[in-house]
Amino acid sequence: MRHRFCGYWHTWSRVLRPLDGEHDQVEVNLTPINPFWEGSWEQSKEIHIRVHCTQPGSCGIDTDRLPFAIRRLLIEKLGIRTVRRLLTEDFLSQIDFARYERFSNGGAPLRLIKYDTNDIK
């Protein structure tokens, strides 16, 4: 499992699909841009997905291990069930990228971009 610290926004995310030359990177936000404002954590609770083409390492750190202090902060702010979901669930297979393009404004909540089972024939 890959995690990324963005040095520009000072946020942590889980990499769902790395940038590979063919595809953009897909991440789920773990921490908000302004973690000191309680309301900012709502976006993380929503399971906020971001697609971008920022080169790994260009303004941050990629790591296989989420720092313990960050994990503890996530549990404090989001609860253990949400944290387990953020760190382990297969979100990538749930994303309808056409919907993502429609709803994205710096990312989008998973509930808006999930495949609609009514669309599957």
Per-residue pLDDT of the chain (121 residues; tens, 9 = 90+): 799 998 888 899 999 998 887 888 899 999 998 877 778 899 889 999 999 876 655 678 889 999 999 999 999 999 999 999 999 999 999 999 999 999 999 899 999 999 986 665 4
pLDDT at 113: 97
**107, 54 Cβ separation under 8 angstroms:** no
Q: How many domains does the chain have?
A: 1
The answer to whether residue 61 is domain-embedded is yes
pLDDT at 117: 65
Domain with 85, as residue range(s), is 2-113
The answer to whether residue 40 is domain-embedded is yes
**35, 44 Cβ separation under 8 angstroms:** no
The answer to whether residue 118 is domain-embedded is no
What secondary structure, in 3-state letters, does 23-81 show?
CCEEEEECCCCCCCCHHHHHHHHCCEEEEECCCCCCCEEEECCCCHHHHHHHHHHHCHH
What is the pTM for the complete model shown? Answer: 0.87
The CA distances from residue 85 to 15, 21, 49, 50, in Å, are 14, 28, 13, 16
The answer to whether residue 95 is domain-embedded is yes
DSSP secondary structure code for residue 20 in this structure: -
